[in-house]
Structure 1
Amino acid sequence: MIDVIKGALLLGGAAFMLLAAVGVLRLPDLLTRLHATTKSATLGVAMIMLAVALHFGEVAVVARAFGVILFLLMTAPVAAHTIGRAGYFVGSKLWSGTLKDELRPNYDPLTHELKSGMETEANATRQSKDSDTR
């Protein structure tokens, strides 16, 4: 029974990693490619590491496998966010089917400054109060 579970985890992990690779090749822009690699590859590696932990069954190997899974779950989203933000700031083209670009009103491409959402809300509130007093 354990062999069936290990085999399913290995095949599932390999399938998710294959999907991540296909996503990198087929998806249209940086942000969608990052989504494919972050989600699919992380899940694929986690499944393979679970199969490794089941196969060896030693405390040291299981601890390392869970350490790898935890490390990936903590670092992959942060790395994807950083790469996506850097790609946006250097002018990576968005897909033509992108419906919403929430950074555009807050980002100045000449100075490379990004206003926070709180600054934007404060400015909108200030502008509405100014228009009310006029």
Structure 2
Amino acid sequence: MSDLVGSLVILVGAFFLFSAGVGLLRMPDVFTRIQAGTKASTLGNILVLAGLGIYHPDWSLKLLIIAYFVLMTNPLSSHALSRAAHAIRTPMAATTIVDALRDENDNAAEEGSL
């Protein structure tokens, strides 16, 4: 029974990893691609690791360490990539209405000049 449950969890994780790949192809700009790739791939990786943990219980500690690494590095790397893309003025999609980082930087510049 645990083999079946582990295989199903791995399959669901593979679906999320596939959807991350589709998101990278379908999203209109770099910022939405980063978000789609990070969120779906993080969940997909964690589900695959959980499925492997169910399938092979003796690997649990190693898989937990890998899951911790994935949970810490994926959001941090996507944040750094998006900040770098914003800093070099990578264009946003035409449908983007709010640029909160630009507004925050403008407010900080105004307060610094006072």
Q: TM-score, normalised by structure 2?
A: 0.89
User: Which residue of structure 2 lines up, in the alignment, with residue 45 of structure 1?
Assistant: 45
One-letter amino acid of the counterpart of residue 74, structure 2: A
Mind listing any 5+ residue stretches in structure 1 that lack a counterpart?
Answer: 109-113, 128-134
> 1:51 Cα shift?
1.3
User: Which residue of structure 2 lines up, in the alignment, with residue 98 of structure 1?
Assistant: 96
SS in 1 for 2:52: helix
Mind listing any 5+ residue stretches in structure 2 that lack a counterpart?
Answer: none
> 1:43 Cα shift?
0.6
**CA–CA separation in structure 2 for the residues paired with 1:99 and 1:53:** 43
Aligned: 1:20 with 2:20: yes
Q: Count residues with an aligned counterpart.
A: 114
- Over 6 Å off, 4+ runs: none
> 1:13 Cα shift?
0.6
Structure 2 vs 1, CA of residues 10 and 91 (structure 1 numbering), >3 Å: closer, same or farther? same
Which structure shows the bigger proportion of residues in helix conformation? 2
Indicate the structure whose relative CO is greater, using CA pairs within 8 Å and at least 6 residues apart.
2
One-letter amino acid of the counterpart of residue 97, structure 1: T
- Structure of larger gyration radius: 1
Aligned: 1:87 with 2:69: no
Contact preservation (8 Å) 2:6, 2:53: no
